[in-house]
Amino acid sequence: MLALVATVAAGIGPVSIEAVTVAKVLANAVRVPVGVELYASGGSALQLPAVGLRWAPVTDFEVEQLHATIVLSVRLPRIALGATVGFALAAAGTVMQGFFRNPMADPSIIGVSSGAAVGAVLFIVAPFAVPFGLGLRGAAFLGALATATVVYLIATEGGRTPVATLLLAGVAIQTFLGAVTSYLLLHSGESMRRVVYWLMGHLDASRMTEAWITGLLAVGLVGLMYLYAEDLNAMLLGEEEARAVGIEVERTKRILLAASSVVTGAAVAVAGVIGFVGLIVPHAMRLIVGPDHRVLLPVSALAGASFLVAADTLARSGAAELPVGIVTAALGAPFFLYLLRRREVSEL
Amino acid sequence: MIEISELSVERGGVKVLSDVSLAVERGEFLALVGPNGVGKSTLLKTVGGLLRPKAGRVLVDGHDVASLSARRIARLVASVPQETAFDFDFSVREIVEMGRTPYRKRLRRNPDPDGDERVEAALERTGTARFADRSVASLSGGEKQRVLLARALAQDAPALLLDEPTASLDINHQVRTLDLIASLDETVVAAIHDLELAARYCDRVALLADGAVRAVGAPDEVFTAELLEPVFDVDVAVSENAVTGTASVTALSGDGTS
């Protein structure tokens, strides 16, 4: 499903390319090691030769060079990043809804997105030094993690983190950070446009390295969440119930919260605040596959990836390119209302 | 089997239990009785490791519950809380399988080899096997109670802790549920509201008052007007039930001796 959406999406744009061509380009780009090469390295004869793998493409279809360039250098990074961000947000949303037993929960319920926004806006308005040269994305990521940590610390007392306290602390911090963002926005002067654009969520100017880093992080952390799928199932029935069947509830909560926050922070840092993916995709998938997180979590993550790639394709195929955040919300909200009227979404 | 010694528990800074000592024999069915808010649930939760005692300790099978992991506790005692939100589309079997959680290990292939067998046995014993594939959300109160019992049995723990297992059931399901519980080989401690049912099914009863144990013994010894009146603050008449031959307690008027 995801592969299909991605392939079709790569063909859509100002230069329309057939899906078959896209498939050929992608197939040509797949390289496998075919042998070992020895490089003579350095001048000294005593030095051992360096060993390297020889790579070769698997297939060699005839495609136009222009099409290959568009697919591989322009559209693929964007699609890869979109898929990654959708994957991360939908997985985190699924975990948060189960965790809070609350249908309104989404990946940024504990203020991760607001924190990222403040970090990013601060960076745009008043550039400050971010370690490791991470720039805007680094600032947003740090803002996200700092916020999650603060909310967690506020809600934790004596080693216990009641979810109700966590939820309210998250809402309060979000409101506060919203105020900070607005204030900074008022004083942003010429950079206002850039700030607003960032806040809306966007996938343009994606780079393949970003997609790789975020992708590996997301797959790793969602894999970690998956290990706790059964714990999440038991926690749906209540924390005491979960504890009664032998789950270290507080430890599980800490791990899930940390994994969701990091994964959401990373997604927001590279793509801005993209709403609704983390809220509606888990709901929609729950209606289809049921509440069992062993199935729901991977299905939601993949559906989120497909949804965001499709939404982004729509966002960039119009006359003027829109930030993808507008498209997800514009598409997501009516769909969500439809589900709400048709089935009891509130059942979680 | 269960040894509670000088246990004190606080909830939200308020002392709920003070200096409670109680021993439960292996295989016994002990009822906790007493007025609302006296600390029956708190006692069960502390024994089940859900609450930490302020002072004193609980030994289950010789292990101090406060020092064990949730996993170890769940293999020793299976708790059935008073209320469970069953609004989810899980099947009965999936709920019962959750009872096998303490035997599973993450990242282990085939983590629980006898799990399926134990789950099926628990479904059979509780008579829930015939609707094992239905959604729990569609069950009646009595059926849900049996599913929770099945989950507790699937935990394979030598002791069961039940909080008001009959509270929301009609008389038919009350009797059927208690018949089932009384027939179990496991050690059972249950908070039971209905004194007549406690007298009829339990081996011994513990009467709680003001966060302490007022009396422990066979139902006949504990259910006397002398003991019950001050605890429940009501005049009572205790007679023998003509049918079952066990104690029958009738409340007379609201303004008792105390």
Q: What is the CATH number of the domain that holds A212?
A: 1.10.3470.10
CA distance B247 to B4: 27
Q: How far is B168 from chain A (nearest CA, A)?
A: 18
d(CA A272, CA A329): 14
* Among B187, B186, B193, CA closest to B166: B193
Same domain for A271 and A138? yes
Q: Does any domain span residue A67? A: no
A262 — pLDDT class (breaks 50, 70, 90): very high
Task: Say what the pLDDT of residue A205 is.
Answer: 66
Residues A106 and A49 in one domain: no
A135 and A216 together in one domain? yes
Nearest to A244 among B81, B87, B106 (CB): B81
Measured between beta carbons, the chain B residues lying within 8 angstroms of A101 are 85
**What pLDDT is stored for residue A95 in this prediction?**
94
pLDDT for residue A74 is more than 50? yes
Question: What separation in angstroms does the CA of A327 have from each of A61, A183, B204?
Answer: 35, 26, 67
Nearest to A262 by CA among A228, A322, A219: A219
**A335 assigned to some structural domain:** yes
**A25 found inside a domain:** yes
pLDDT at A149: 93
The strand pair at B2-11 and B14-24 is best described as antiparallel
A204 close to B (CB below 8 A): no
Domain boundary residue among A14, A31, A57?
A: A57
Read off the tokens for B189: 């401690």
All residues at 6 or more sequence positions from A271 whose CB lies less than 8 Å from its CB, including other chains: A81, A82, A85, A201, A202, A203, A324
Domain assignment of residue A65, yes or no? no
Answer whether residue A47 shows pLDDT above 70.
Answer: no
Same domain, A27 and A169: no
**Interchain proximity B89–A347, CB inside 8 Å:** yes
Indicate whether A344 pLDDT > 70. Answer: no
Do B79 and B152 touch, CB atoms closer than 8 A?
A: yes
CA distance B182 to B187: 10
Check whether residue A299 and residue A339 sit in a common domain.
yes
Say yes or no: A40 and A176 in one domain. Answer: no
Same domain membership, residue A107 and residue A20: no
Burial string for A89-125 (b: 16+ CB within 10 Å, else e) reads bbbbbbbbbbbbbbbebbbbbbbbbbbbbbbbbbbbb
Dihedral angle sign, alpha carbons of residues A106, A112, A118, A120: negative
Does the structure show a pLDDT above 80 at A145? Answer: yes
Beta strands B212-217; B159-163: pairing state: unpaired
CB A306 within 8 A of CB A312: no
Q: Is the ipTM of this complex over 0.85?
A: no
**Residue A332 in domain:** yes
Total count of domains within chain A: 2
Counted residue by residue, chain B has a size of: 258
Q: Are B144 and B169 in contact (CB under 8 A)?
A: no
Residues A47 and A156 in one domain: no
Distance, in Å, from the CA atom of B150 to the CA atom of B93, rounded to the nearest integer, reads 9
- Torsion sign over Cα A149, A155, A161, A165: negative
- Joined together, the tokens standing for residue B204 give 């011994």
Q: Are residues A113 and A23 in the same domain?
A: no
Cα B118 to Cα B154: distance, rounded to the nearest angstrom: 6
Average pLDDT, chain A: 81
Contact A347 B87 (CB under 8 A): yes
Hey, is B22 helix, strand or coil?
strand
Burial of residue A16 (CB within 10 Å: 0-12, 13-18, 19+) is exposed
Mark which residues 208-227 of A lie under 8 Å from B by CB.
227
Is A64 among the domain residues?
Answer: no
CB B123 within 8 A of CB B132: yes
Q: Do B74 and A245 touch (CB under 8 A)?
A: yes
> Which residue from B132, B130, B215, B201 is spatially nearest to B166, judged by alpha carbons?
B201
Instruction: Please report whether residue A63 resides in a domain.
Output: no
B80 touches chain A (CB under 8 A): yes
Give residue A16's pLDDT. 62
d(CA B80, CA B74): 11
Q: Three-state DSSP class for B249? A: strand
Indicate if A39 and A83 belong to the same structural domain: no
> What does the pLDDT look like over A105-138, one tens digit per residue?
888 888 999 999 998 888 887 766 555 556 788 8
- Which chain A residues touch B72 with a CB distance below 8 Å? 246
**Chain B residues lying within 8 Å of A236, measured CB to CB:** 85, 88, 90
pLDDT, residue A206, reads 66
Distance from C-alpha of A308 to C-alpha of A221, rounded to nearest angstrom: 19
| Assigned token pair, A133 | 């040269």
Q: Is the pLDDT of residue A87 over 90?
A: yes
- Does the pLDDT at position B154 exceed 90? yes
Q: Which amino acid is at B128?
A: T
Q: Does A103 touch chain B (CB under 8 A)?
A: no
> Hey, is the C-beta of A244 within 8 angstroms of any chain B C-beta?
yes
Segment among A193-207, A266-280, B49-63 with least mean pLDDT = A193-207
pLDDT at A197 over 90: no
Q: What angle do CA B15, B16, B22 make, to 5 degrees?
A: 120
Interface test with B, best of A230, A243, A245 (most B CBs within 10 A): A245
Q: Do A292 and B101 touch (CB under 8 A)?
A: no
**Torsion sign across C-alpha atoms A168, A174, A177, A182:** negative
In order of their start, the domains of chain B are 2-225 (3.40.50.300)
Cα A100 from Cα A165, distance rounded (Å): 11
The pTM (predicted TM-score) of the whole model is 0.82
Say if residue B178's pLDDT is above 60: yes
Q: Say whether both A225 and A118 belong to one domain.
A: yes
- Amino acid, res. A197: Y
A68 in any annotated domain:
no
Mutate to test the interface with B, among A165, A241, A285 (most CBs of B within 10 A): A241
**Residue A23 lies in domain:** 2-57
DSSP annotation of A16 reads: -
**Cross-chain Cβ contact A292/B90 below 8 Å:** yes
How does the average pLDDT of chain B come out, rounded? Answer: 87
Claim to verify: residue A303 and residue A341 sit in the same structural domain: yes
